[in-house]
Amino acid sequence: MNIRLNGTVSDSIVDGPGLRLAVFTQGCPHRCPGCHNPDTHDPAGGYETDTAAVLAGLKENPLLDGLTLSGGEPFAQPEACLELALGARALGLSVWAYSGYTYEALERMGGAAAALLQACDVLVDGPFLLAERSLELDFRGSRNQRLIDVRKSRQAGHAMLWQPPAW
């Protein structure tokens, strides 16, 4: 399946816990002021590739702990990102996604967006707000953004925050 990307980082340590393949999708309807990836906003930018090629990159690195879908807005390409998420899960990897939409909004979208949400372990939700920016936060850029534990949230029927493992 085709997907439009801005790029990938094969050894990210800032887009979720452990060593991750970070996939930066192309196209973002939110266009948050102060976004650290403004070159991802244009849906016609970046380049087109095949999800199979991205999944091959996952398989090539046995040190990876997970896949992170970022952007741009991964939920603007839900079918292709769902294919990536399911492929990562089949390899035993965790799946994180960043979205300018809230958990609640994604649940209401239904269809492929809701399926992609369900395939994630953690959702970093909400738009980046420049007035809430903080460099002290783990895995997010502004204080309004939440780290949502998707599995626990589905069980509870409302958003539950992710807690990092105690080492």
- pLDDT tens profile 75-102: 999 999 999 999 999 999 999 999 999 9
Q: Do residues 110 and 78 make contact, with C-beta atoms less than 8 angstroms apart?
A: no
Confidence of residue 165 (pLDDT cuts 50, 70, 90): confident
Q: What confidence score (pLDDT) does residue 166 get?
A: 79
Q: Kindly report the pTM of this predicted structure.
A: 0.96
Protein fold of 2-156: TIM Barrel (3.20.20)
Spatial separation of the C-alpha atoms in residues 19 and 10, rounded to whole Å? 8
Q: Do residues 58 and 67 make contact, with C-beta atoms less than 8 angstroms apart?
A: yes
- The average pLDDT across 53-73 equals 96
Q: Which of 98, 95, 100, 93 is nearest to 30 (CA)?
A: 100
H/E stretch holding 149: strand 146-149
Per-residue pLDDT for 65 more than 90?
Answer: yes
